[in-house]
């Protein structure tokens, strides 16, 4: 679970640990069982299918399937949870792609790998890689022959600093999965957050290569999309750079994630901002349609940043956590959709200190430069790791004294029947599906 989806800070493992300390084991397990049950039900699958969309990418954390203290001993509860979502989708005629969104040690430097830090240790330790291969072998044993499973996305947004460990890992995992399941497609993300295929030189059999196509024009504090010829040219050039390997090798392209971040109604000029974001989305879809590129939107449901469905402000969730979510936004703790205008002055002296003491030739040496400059690394460590970890305790305190009934009501805020449809976004996706 990524932090902006529900409003927590930092990494999921820290969020869960803080809530466990407050609620105790029984209530903790009750809340998360209810939350995950309500988050995606048959009603969600039915609505998704009603839009003419035909495939759901299901992201999951390895920690649903094994504990770090007992690796290789698999938790049946994780498979039951995944089975339930797959069954909901198949009942509505939807294909699914299984997406391992977080792996032991973290596959990238960001929050969504749930490493608890800003380093991707997965690429340094063969033990972590072996655990992921073994988990996928177990998943393949369970889903081989399932006609509604379109395929497996072994690692989400890898970021290998050496650029060679990833392709070696793909060669290993493809071989092991094929011993069990020779039929399902493997969807292989490019390096550096699924945007870089420069070190890829071999096409593995029955594999589709996956890129992610976020545009900075769809985020706050960036150039906004106005639909100019220059912006459209830049958008296409960015896409073509990411898919150069697939074009060269004449293999299918799958865009596993894309989508702008939308402004909340309470924000100034939200209507004008979102009109630009929807226009950007339409332009991206037109680019994909030109060469028949399949795609998966990010994401289906959250508290209002990107979701096709979102939790309303009059929900039990916002009534309780609204003040914390507002505080988190003002502190600029999330990279996703963050506007740090209220706190930039706080961090400016720290960043200036780095500029003063680090030789200029090393400012942008740390991977994933040039995607991240030194300022971005400072934000990642100081705000998104350290400060966010401290504030995880504060959010957990909101759970103090909650009864089972109150916990159920909080979790039920994410039920389909209690959420709001982002109508304009969904209309755009539906029209694109009709044309396709």
Q: Is there a catalytic annotation at residue 157? A: yes
Q: What is the DSSP string of 51-116?
A: TT--EEEEEEEGGGT-BTTBTT---HHHHHHHHHHHHHHHHTT-EEEEEEEE-TT-SSSSGGG--S
Record the tokens describing residue 134, joined without a space.
């073994």
Distance of alpha carbon 160 from alpha carbon 192, whole angstroms: 7
| Catalytic pick among 2, 12, 257, 384 | 257
DSSP H/E element including 250:
none
- Answer for the pair 91, 45: CB distance below 8 angstroms, yes or no: yes
Residue with tokens 């889903």: 143
DSSP H/E element including 16:
helix 12-23
- The SS3 of residue 266 is coil
Q: Does 368 sit behind a cis peptide bond, omega within 30 degrees of 0 on the bond before it?
A: yes
Distance of alpha carbon 156 from alpha carbon 103, whole angstroms: 9
Q: Is there a catalytic annotation at residue 417? A: no
* CA nearest to 143, candidates 101, 183, 171: 183
- Answer for the pair 150, 95: CB distance below 8 angstroms, yes or no: yes
Taken as a whole, the chain contains a residue count of 436
| Catalytic pick among 2, 66, 157, 174 | 157
> For residue 435, how many C-alpha atoms fall within 13 Å in the half-sphere facing its CB?
13
Distance of alpha carbon 416 from alpha carbon 311, whole angstroms: 9
Distance of alpha carbon 318 from alpha carbon 409, whole angstroms: 12
> For residue 174, how many C-alpha atoms fall within 13 Å in the half-sphere facing its CB?
18
Distance of alpha carbon 335 from alpha carbon 110, whole angstroms: 9
Distance of alpha carbon 307 from alpha carbon 408, whole angstroms: 22
Residue with tokens 């072994």: 154
CA geometry: angle at 425 spanning 421 and 431, to 5°? 115
Q: Helix axis angle, 423-435 relative to 270-290, nearest 10°? A: 10
Record the tokens describing residue 230, joined without a space.
């220059």
Residue with tokens 């630009």: 276
Positions marked catalytic: 157, 257
């Amino acid at each position: 679970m990524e932090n902006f989806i529900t409003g927590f800070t930092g990494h999921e493992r820290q969020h869960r640990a803080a809530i466990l300390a407050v609620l105790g084991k029984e209530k903790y397990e009750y809340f998360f069982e209810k939350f995950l049950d309500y988050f995606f039900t048959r009603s969600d699958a039915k609505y998704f299918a009603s839009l003419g969309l035909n495939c759901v990418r299901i992201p999951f954390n390895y920690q649903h399937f094994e504990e770090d203290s007992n690796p290789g001993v698999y938790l049946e509860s994780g498979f039951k949870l995944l089975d339930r979502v797959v069954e909901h989708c198949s009942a509505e005629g939807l294909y699914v792609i299984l997406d391992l969104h977080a792996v032991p040690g973290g596959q990238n430097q960001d929050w969504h790998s749930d490493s608890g830090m800003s380093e991707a240790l997965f690429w340094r330790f063969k033990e972590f890689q072996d655990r992921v291969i073994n988990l996928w072998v177990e998943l393949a044993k369970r889903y081989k022959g399932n006609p509604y499973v379109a395929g497996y996305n072994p690692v989400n947004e890898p970021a290998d600093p050496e650029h060679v460990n990833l392709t070696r890992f793909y060669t290993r995992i493809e071989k092991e999965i094929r011993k069990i399941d020779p039929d399902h497609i493997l969807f292989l993300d490019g390096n550096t957050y699924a945007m870089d295929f420069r070190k890829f030189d071999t096409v593995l059999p029955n594999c589709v290569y996956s890129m992610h196509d976020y545009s900075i024009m769809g985020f706050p504090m960036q150039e906004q999309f106005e639909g100019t010829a220059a912006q459209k040219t830049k958008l296409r050039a960015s896409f073509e750079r990411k898919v150069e390997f697939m074009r060269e090798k004449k293999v299918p392209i799958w865009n596993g994630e894309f989508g702008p971040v939308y402004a909340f109604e309470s924000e100034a000029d939200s209507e004008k901002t979102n009109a630009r974001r929807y226009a950007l989305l339409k332009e991206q879809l037109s680019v994909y349609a030109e060469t028949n590129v399949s795609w998966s939107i990010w994401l289906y449901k959250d508290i209002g940043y990107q979701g096709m469905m979102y939790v309303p402000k009059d929900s039990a969730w916002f009534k309780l956590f609204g003040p914390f979510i507002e505080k988190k936004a003002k502190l600029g703790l999330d990279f996703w959709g963050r506007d740090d205008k209220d706190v930039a002055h706080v961090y400016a002296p720290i960043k200036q200190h780095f500029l003063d003491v680090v030789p200029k030739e090393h400012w942008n040496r740390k991977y994933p430069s040039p995607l991240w400059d030194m300022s971005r690394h400072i934000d990642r460590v100081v705000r998104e790791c350290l400060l966010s970890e401290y504030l995880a305790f504060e959010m957990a305190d909101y759970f103090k004294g909650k009864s089972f009934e109150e916990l159920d009501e909080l979790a039920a805020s994410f039920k389909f029947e209690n959420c709001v449809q982002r109508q304009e976004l969904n209309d755009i996706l539906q029209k694109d599906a009709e044309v396709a």
